[in-house]
Chains A and B, each alone.
Chain A
Amino acid sequence: MLLELNNIFKWVNSGGQRIFLLKDINLQVEEGEFISIMGPSGSGKSTLLNVIGMLDGFDEGEYNFLDESVHTLKEKHRANLYKEYIGFVFQSYHLLDELTVQENLEMPLLYKKYKGAERKAMVADMLDRFNIVGKKDLFPAQLSGGQQQLVGVARALIASPKLILADEPTGNLNSQQSAEIMELFKKLNQEDGVTIIQVTHSEKNAAYGSRILKLLDGRKV
């Protein structure tokens, strides 16, 4: 078992009313799964992804990640946990504009105590694997959306996480770029055994996954 959510509730108080963002979510994820979270806008997809990614807290329930109970961990431990096991991919790529492709890839490693030579090797390996060696000295603004997202995925993968969380990874891409990224995810999942949880609007993209989780108004349906 990679992770397990038990009876997760998350809410905000607004005008004396409690508005639920997540309502009684239960979810078990095994290693090697490829899950797509679907649902209309405001249904809590991204919130759920953020909770799984430990970027956001929750108000009630239990969250176990690799047998650690996340809800009882201190902030610093939690950070260490996701630093080690989780990689993020965003809809709008979120690359650092001031860094080149190569440097963007190296950036997460800086926070993980790798030596310089090791970092170089890992970055080179990743550039190679994603066929972007030729782009390594370009800045994000010089790349197409699809290429930027490729870098985004590479960055998420560089420290070999067990879990990739992708929030509408193809939302800003055209259909061909979209397909390329999804193929990549599929390959990572099947060949490298990386667990993937993605948020998506598109049935076509969801079909790449092994399981679909549907949300409506913060509730699993």
Chain B
Amino acid sequence: MYKLFLKIATRYLLKNKLYSFINIFGLAIGIASFVLIMLYVNYEQSYDKFEGSENVYRAYMDYLEGDTFVAGDAQTYNSTGPSLKEEFPEVLDYVRLFYFEKMTFQLGERILEEPLGSLADPSYFDIFNYPLLKGEKEKVLSQPYSIVLSQSFAQKLFGTEDPMQKTISAFRDGEKAILTVTGVMVDMPKTAHYRNSFLISYETEKTWTYYGTEIHELNWNANNYYTFLKLDPNANVSLLRQKIMDSDLEQDTEEQHNIEPLEDIHLYSDKPYEVSANGSVTRIKFLTAIAFIILILSWLNYVNLSATKSMERAKEAGIRKVSGAQKSQLILQSLIESILLNIIAISISLVLVAITLPLYNAVTGKELSSGLSNISSFLPYFLFILLGMILAGLYPALLLSSYSPAKALKGKIQTSTQGLAIRKGLLVTQFLATIVLLIGTIVVTKQINFLESQPIGTNVNQVIALKGEVITAKADSLLINDYKVLEAELKRLPFVEKVAIAQTYPGDSFDNLSSTRGISLPNGKREEDKLFYTYHVQPDYFDLMDIEFLAGGTFLASSEGKGRQVIVNETFLKNMGISSADDVLNKTLGFWGYDEWRVAGVIKDYYHFGLKSPVLPMIIRYQSDVSNLLVKLDPSAASLSGIESSMSQIKLVWTRIFPKSTFNYTFLDQKFEAQYKEDKAFGSAFQVFTVIAILIAAMGLFGLTSYTVVQRKKEIGIRKVNGATIPQVLALLNKDFVKWVGVAFVIAVPVSWYTMNQWLEGFAYRTTLSWWVFALAGISALLIALLTVSWQSFQAAVTNPVDSLRDE
């Protein structure tokens, strides 16, 4: 019997090609989108998982803001780990990590830069349970001047040779250390928020640099270390957390320690000084919602189409009933058909996933695989798809089996008003989802445009930051002289407009700002609990970056005590309760144990980190440095080939002055844009999946109208015979759809207004939810619906009534 059922189903699908195509492809696209989104969601949820990871927590700092503590710093003191372990028996162990964004290594004559590394306590491999390929986990980091390499870094350095016990030189702030390779670890997965390509034993810090001994002393002054704790699996974590918050380890009422699970960092943490940009649980929630909306849309489509189609198959059901089929057998047959259709759709969707995955990975910047490795985590979704498939098949099955055979055989099947109401409901739900997604897309796009078009108070275009590690035995002061030479040489290049040296620049990582508390203001007040951020630059910086002054001007290079000049921003004044720039200009501030910082100028606020985070209160100091040399190119060098040749000339100058060095450059505009990368990816994902959802909805609508039109063929014929014009017939057929879009729109507006406000909350500066956003979405949905429907309505309207009435 099943064989025959399958046979008849297959023939039916082949015969009704349009119907099958719409149904199968609607489902396939829906399922493929669902799978792709959920692959991404799963990936984002799989961060920092290894054996024992559930017991690993990160300590971080809360800072007092007003009268509540807020998450203030992902980094902690070097005393944090030891003190927590001593105070709380639940803390079994700790590891402190000092992060290097990149480091320069020298092996023989080869100089190379490697990103992502850390100073790490010997307990590292005990807490981060990543396998070691060579070396013993207790010993690899126990001695100073030890280094553990990742497999691929080891290969890069030593090729196929055994790296163990070999030595390499590493440079920190120009000071060299000779390190011995004591271990090789596996490459850390991309799903780790804190990835290391090399680990240097923590003790090395003490003697590496001239300031090493001082910073290495246990202290509560500089919180530059990430501290990870291994907790007792039986510990009451919420209690411990409270105890840690209540404890006053560093005896500072302005701050407190706190802990958070390692596994939550990627999705839930967005603190200052994060080691890398984290994901966002809001985005994950939104994407999950989109995934389910699309899947449900395609099921609704399926239900709607099959239900409509089942009227056409009423005769068949009637014949079967007359031939002795029981209701349950008819239901079973219909279910088998829908399962067959779903299996085809699922197969096609898997092919679609396999085809689009590389592209998808390129867009999302992730390494998703459709492999079997994560099949267990996907099982619930597959069960969900299965369940939905059966539910979606059940409605048409019940509908079909319920027809009375005598009526069905006469072809007198009219849908009950109830059935019609259900289908209208389904259609309204489809429109609702479509309009909500449309509004979402428009808002996301609008916000991203807003982020990109808003004046940021500085000009990052055609600015390049040159940075490299110079391997030399020279003292810092002499190196600075070399930089001065470099500056002068670069200025002589025809396409270089301006040059300036700066510690950091807009869009650079948070790590390059120092956060400080405790300042004496010119009005004699001492402000202890307000945080401010500081970095240092040379005088030309403001001119080069087009940062405007409200009062005063840039640093005076010639003035006496020039290193004690500062420039503050508007937000700094506002935060410190200073109403006028004149109240600070040429007056002095006191911080860092020095009371005579003279305020040379007040700048207008600029967005150091884009518009996602609020402007920070900033003090910019005057100090020579060798970290970044900013170069502003002449607009004439802006074309691609121009930039290429400019860069090679700049590199020539650089290597002439620093023959032994690495050379790196960053385009500031690209780096600044990169801050919005995840949001843009989210935006494009939103757009793509909205288009898919609309496509599915339109396909369903198309299918549905084609049957409505067939059903009403006779009515249309009669109306036309009685004098109805084509526009009148069109209006008749389209009226209902307009009404349904209207109903959906009324529901969609508050739903999307609420959800999109939630999303916008994640931005410090946000666009408005203007009325036209909703209007545009509503009108678009209406147009899409009308276009889809009218194509067929028109066909029906122009048909000669003689044809439609003849076969009666």
Let me know if B320 is at the binding interface, CB within 8 A. yes
| B470 → A minimal CB distance (Å) | 80
In the bound complex, do residue A111 and residue B326 qualify as a contact, i.e. CB atoms below 8 Å apart?
yes
Return A167 CB to nearest CB of chain B, in Å.
Answer: 9
Contact B11 A98 (CB under 8 A): yes
Q: Are A111 and B12 in contact, with the CB atoms below 8 A? A: no
A111 CA to B326 CA, complexed, in Å? 8
Mind listing 11 A-B residue pairs with CB under 8 Å? A90-B409, A94-B319, A96-B319, A98-B15, A99-B4, A99-B7, A103-B7, A106-B4, A107-B323, A111-B323, A155-B323
Chain B 277-329 interface residues, beta-carbon cutoff 8 Å to A: 315-316, 318-320, 322-326, 329
8 Å CB interface, A153-177 against B: 155, 159
CA distance A106 to B326 in the complex (A): 16
Contact present for B322 and A88 (CB under 8 Å): yes
Find the residue from A76, A88, A111 having the highest chain B CB count within 10 A: A111
A26 within 8 A of B: no
- Report whether over half of chain B's contact residues are helix, strand or loop; otherwise say mixed: helix
Q: Which of chain B's residues 725-771 have a Cβ closer than 8 Å to chain A?
A: none
Is A50 touching B406 in the complex (CB atoms < 8 A)? Answer: yes
Kindly list chain B residues whose C-beta atoms are within 8 Å of the C-beta of A108. Answer: 323-324
A110 at the interface (CB under 8 A from B): yes
Encode A102-129 as 1/0 by CB contact (under 8 A) with B: 0100111011100000000000000000
Asked whether B8 lies within 8 Å of A55 as measured between CB atoms, the reply is no
* Contact partners of B318 in chain A: CB under 8 A: 94
- Chain A, Cβ-Cβ closest to B5: A110
Of all A-B residue pairs in the complex, the 3 with the closest CB atoms, nearest first, are: A83-B324, A108-B323, A111-B324
Question: Are A98 and B8 closer than 8 Å at their CB atoms?
Answer: yes
Q: Tally A residues with Cβ within 8 Å of B.
A: 25
Instruction: Kindly state whether residue B405 has any CB partner on chain A within 8 Å.
Output: yes
Known: A94-B318, A111-B329, A155-B323. 4 other contacts (CB 8 A): A56-B406, A107-B320, A107-B323, A112-B324
Chain A residues in the interface with B (C-beta under 8 A): 50, 53, 55-56, 76, 79, 82-83, 88, 90, 94-99, 103, 106-108, 110-112, 155, 159
Interface status of B640 (Cβ within 8 A of chain A): no
Question: Is A99 in contact with B322, judged by CB distance below 8 angstroms?
Answer: no
Q: A96 contacts B316, CB within 8 Å?
A: yes
A77 to chain B, nearest CB (A): 12
Q: Which residues of A contact B11 (CB under 8 A)?
A: 98-99
Given known A94-B319, A98-B15, contact A103–B4 (CB-CB < 8 A): yes
Chain A residues within 8 Å of B8, by CB: 96, 98-99, 103
Interface flag for B359 (CB, 8 Å): no
What's the Cα separation between A67 and B704 when bound, in Å? 49
Q: Shortest Cβ distance from B341 into chain A, in angstroms?
A: 15
Nearest B residue to A95 by beta-carbon distance?
A: B319
Given A98-B8, A99-B8, A107-B4, A55:B322 Cβ within 8 A: yes
Instruction: Report yes or no: B15 in contact with A110, Cβ–Cβ below 8 A.
Output: no
Chain A positions within 8 Å of B325 at CB level:
110-111
Q: Is B1 an interface residue (CB 8 A)?
A: yes
A79→B326 contact, CB < 8 A: yes
Residues on B with beta carbons closer than 8 Å to the beta carbon of A88: 322
A-facing mask of B518-555, CB < 8 A → 1, else 0? 00000000000000000000000000000000000000
CA distance A107 to B7 in the complex (A): 12
Asked if A79 contacts B319 (CB within 8 A), the reply is no
Docked CA distance A159–B323 (Å): 10
Closest B residue to A165 by beta carbon equals B322
Known: A103-B7, A107-B4. A94 touches B315 (CB 8 A): yes
- How far in angstroms is the closest Cβ of chain B from A151? 12
- Contacts A94-B409, A96-B316, A96-B319 hold; do A79 and B324 have CB atoms under 8 A apart? yes
CA distance A99 to B315 in the complex (A): 14
- Report B365-403 CB contacts with A as 1/0, cut-off 8 Å: 000000000000000000000000000000000000000
Minimum CB distance partner of B316 in chain A: A96
Q: Which of A55, A98, A107 contacts B12 (CB 8 A)?
A: A98
B residues less than 8 Å from A50 (CB atoms)? 406
Determine which residue in A53, A99, A107 has the highest number of CB atoms from chain B within 10 A of its CB, and name it. Answer: A107
B322 contacts which chain A residues (CB < 8 A)?
A: 53, 55, 88, 94
How far does the alpha carbon of A103 sit from the alpha carbon of B7 in the complex, in Å? 10
Q: Closest A-chain residue to B2, C-beta based?
A: A110
Set of chain B residues within 8 Å of A90, measured between Cβ atoms: 409
Residues of A within 8 A of B15 (CB): 97-98
What residues of A have a CB within 8 angstroms of the CB of B409 in the complex?
55, 90, 94
Bound complex: CA A159 to CA B322 (Å): 13
Q: How far is the CA of A56 from the CA of B408 in the complex (A)?
A: 12
Residue pair B316, A110 in contact (C-beta under 8 Å): no
Please report the C-alpha to C-alpha distance between residue A49 and residue B406 in the assembled complex, in whole angstroms. Answer: 11
Cα distance A178–B576 when bound, in Å?
A: 105
CB distance from A104 to the nearest CB of B (A): 9
Residues on B with beta carbons closer than 8 Å to the beta carbon of A159: 324
A166 to chain B, nearest CB (A): 13
Give the chain A neighbours of B12 by CB distance below 8 A. Answer: 98
- Residue of B with least CB distance to A158: B323
Q: Which residues of B contact A94 (CB under 8 A)?
A: 315, 318-319, 322, 409
A97 to B16, CA, bound (A): 12
Q: Which residues of A contact B324 (CB under 8 A)?
A: 79, 82-83, 108, 111-112, 159
Q: Return the contact of A55 from the options B1, B326, B329, B405 (Cβ within 8 A).
A: B405
Complex interface: chain B residues within 8 A of A76 (CB): 326
With A79-B326, A88-B322, A111-B325: A55-B406 Cβ-Cβ less than 8 Å: yes
Taken together as a complex, chains A and B put the C-alpha atoms of A136 and B581 apart, in Å, by 99
| In the complex, chain B residues 617-661 whose Cβ is within 8 Å of any chain A Cβ | none
A112–B326 Cα gap in the complex (Å)? 10
B1 touches A110 (CB 8 A): yes
Chain B residues with CB under 8 Å of A110's CB are 1, 4, 325
**In the complex, A96→B406 CA distance in Å?**
16
Give the nearest-CB partner of B409 in chain A: A94
Closest A residue to B410 using CB positions: A46
Give every chain B residue within 8 A of A112 (Cβ-Cβ): 324
Could you tell me the distance between the alpha carbons of A90 and B408 in the complex, rounded to whole angstroms? 13
Q: Complex Cα distance A97/B11, Å?
A: 9
Which B147-172 residues have a C-beta within 8 angstroms of A? none
CA distance A56 to B12 in the complex (A): 29
CB-CB < 8 A to A106: which residues of B?
A: 4
Say how far A8's CB is from chain B's closest CB, in angstroms: 16
Provide the bound-state CA to CA distance between A38 and B29, in Å. Answer: 57
Smallest Cβ distance from B677 to chain A, in angstroms?
53
> For residue A83, which residues in chain B have a CB less than 8 angstroms away from its CB?
324
**Closest Cβ–Cβ distance, residue B314 to chain A (whole Å):** 12
